[in-house]
Structure 1
Amino acid sequence: MFRFAAPVLILLSFLTSAAAQTPPATTAPAAQTAPQEKPTAKKATAKPKAAPKPAESTTAGPCGVGVIAGTGDIFVVQKIGLTVFGNDYAEVPVSWGLDDLVFARARAAAGNTPVRRITYAKGALDSYYHPKSGLFRNQREELSNLIRQVAGNAGCERYLVVMRSEGQLDGTNQSLSGVGIFSRGVGLISYAYVFSYIGVTWVDGRTFEIMKGPSVTFEGVMKRMADNFVSNELLQKVDKSMFPETAADSANNTALRDTTRDFLTKRLDKILPPYFAQ
């Protein structure tokens, strides 16, 4: 009896000592719980990387509307002096995402209509904005042929083309083009405005002919005329200090960038929805 009990007691003693050593095994994972917070920090830092490009659309499947954003991310800096000698004009390439903004607002205006962004090589639209000198120019035909080249084999039913347009500044013989800022006057008698002259065109995806837009109605024409008479539709007054000392300085002017983007957004949100309401 005692011979049998002795091994049992030894076994129980061994198990008891083994059980006593188990807490370190359970406390080791607890010591590793702190590093589990790291993924949260990584996720937080990853958010800004994903946010800047929410506007891209699918490139697969049938294409109803192809959007060609054609500002070229060009910002105009223009001075209008009291005489012709005080005039100055410069086009500055900026990395403000102006074409990205155009597509984002077009997609917002489209609602349930699927749209696809049509990308193109840098400088592909330069021939339209800066044509070779000539007495006669058929801009309608030029644009039609250009969009045919840019669209390539995208095969969209229609193309919404948003490009820089041009208009004359009231009270002067000077024109304003695209998106930019101008100053007028000298010294204390001077002021500055940002402007947004943007043209929108429908192009048939089969024939590449220019289609009628929503303004080609009596109501549309009257509304467009009224819009052009209201200065804040195309111009927005800003503090004179926002006008850059040199044209190149505008590219790094964050206040000017944000003001311009906000103003362009308002302009696009006004002129784009009617195209998708046809």
Structure 2
Amino acid sequence: MVRFAVPVIALLFFLTPAAAQTSPAPTAPPAQAAAPAKPVAKKPAKPKSSLAKPAEQTAAGPCSVGVIAATQDPFVVETIGLTVFGNEYAEVPVSWGLDDLVFARVRAMAGTTPIRRIAYAKGAFDAYYHPKPSLFRNEREELSNLIRQIAGNAGCERYVVVTRSEGLLPGTNQPLRGLGILHRGVGPISYSFLYAYVGVTVLDGQTFEIRKGPGVTLEGVMKHMADGFGLDEHLRKVDDSLYPVAASDAANNTALRDNIRDFLTQRLDKILPPYFAQ
């Protein structure tokens, strides 16, 4: 038995150091895994928040010119017959981005002048465009009060407002309003016109009083006379095929849409520059 015990004791003698060396091994990996965990603190999120601040400050910062585009996208389809009984008038809701086009042209004409588009609630201009009958209506005062409400705390130095306006068909007492297409006559003795009546009004950003337009100056009056008083500048003759068979068809008529957008661009590019040359 003594001979058997000696090898066993010797074997245990050699196994004990090995066990002592391998026992700390399980604690080593957690210590090594914890080391790379320290850099994974989500610090890159801070630069993102700091980048967002300038955008907010720009939106809420000083405003030189606030732009309110208020043609509101109705398109008029109108027929003028040989007698009043042949007249037809319809306002067709369209989604042609006409107010977006207005703002784009104002921005192009403004050059380096910083501008900001001022949003307004749907229907804000309904009472202005369709007022209750009154013998003593003051449109200037109505517009001034309306823009004061829309502008709120925008704090712009001035406001440029583009609205639908009104004129008369040359040689008649027939009113034409806003943007539309007109068909006049019967059969071969007939013609069609696009028309674009838009007005630009500038209001003081503090008092909301309407400023004098550039056309009121002597230079503006002389230019108006040289242009023949602008009797035809609001009209563009088009082929009769562009006139929709039914007024409701106008909304889906891409050729009509493209033509009125092109004509509106032409009108805006002519009337807007003087307002930014003052």
Shorter chain as normaliser: what TM range? 0.7 to 0.9
Match of 1:233 in 2: 233
| Corresponding residue for residue 105 of structure 1 | 105
Deviates more, 1:215-224 or 1:194-203: 215-224
Equivalences for residues 34-183 of structure 1 within 5 A: 59-183=59-183
Letter in 2 for 1:67: V
What SS is found at the alignment partner of 1:109?
Answer: helix
**Alpha-carbon distance change, 171 to 190 in structure 1, aligned in 2, over 3 angstroms:** same
Equivalent position amino acid for 1:174 in 2 = Q
Following superposition, the deviation at residue 116 of structure 1 comes to 0.4
Q: Deviations over 1:161-194 (max 9, x none)?
A: 0000000111222111111110000111111010
The runs of 5 or more residues in structure 2 that have no matched partner are 1-57
Partner of 1:273: 273
Partner residue, 2:252: 252
Structure 1: gaps spanning 5 or more residues? 1-57
User: How many angstroms apart in 2 are the aligned matches of 1:228 and 1:101?
Assistant: 27
> Distance between the aligned counterparts of 2:136 and 2:109, measured in 1?
36
Aligned partner of 1:83: which letter? T
- Paired AA for residue 236 in structure 1: R
Q: Mark the CA change 1:98 to 1:228 in structure 2 (over 3 Å): closer, same or farther.
A: farther
What is the alpha-carbon distance in structure 2 between the residues aligned to residue 119 and residue 68 of structure 1?
Answer: 7
State how far apart, in whole Å, the 1-side matches of 2:127 and 2:190 are.
35
Give the alignment's Cα RMSD to 1 decimal: 1.3
The percentage of aligned residue pairs carrying the same residue is 74
Rounded Cα–Cα distance in structure 2 between residues aligned with 1:146 and 1:160: 13
| Letter matched to residue 260 of structure 1 | I
Post-superposition Cα deviations, 1:196-254, rounded to whole Å, max 9, x if no partner, equal 10100000111111001111201112323444645552111111010011111101000
Aligned residue type for 1:252: N
Equivalent position SS for 1:123: coil
With normalisation by structure 1, the TM-score equals 0.77
Counterpart-to-counterpart distance in 1, 2:230 and 2:215: 17
Q: Distance in 2 between matches of 1:265 and 1:85?
A: 34
Aligned to 1:189: 189
SS of structure 1 residue aligned to 2:170: coil
* Matched pairs, number: 221
CA contact (8 A) 1:228 1:234 kept: no
Match in the other structure for 1:220: 220
Give the corresponding residue for 1:20: none
One-letter amino acid matched to 1:71: T
Distance (Å, rounded) in 1 between the aligned partners of 2:222 and 2:199: 17
2:147 aligns to what SS in structure 1? helix
The change in CA–CA distance for 1:175 and 1:227 in structure 2 (over 3 A counts) is farther
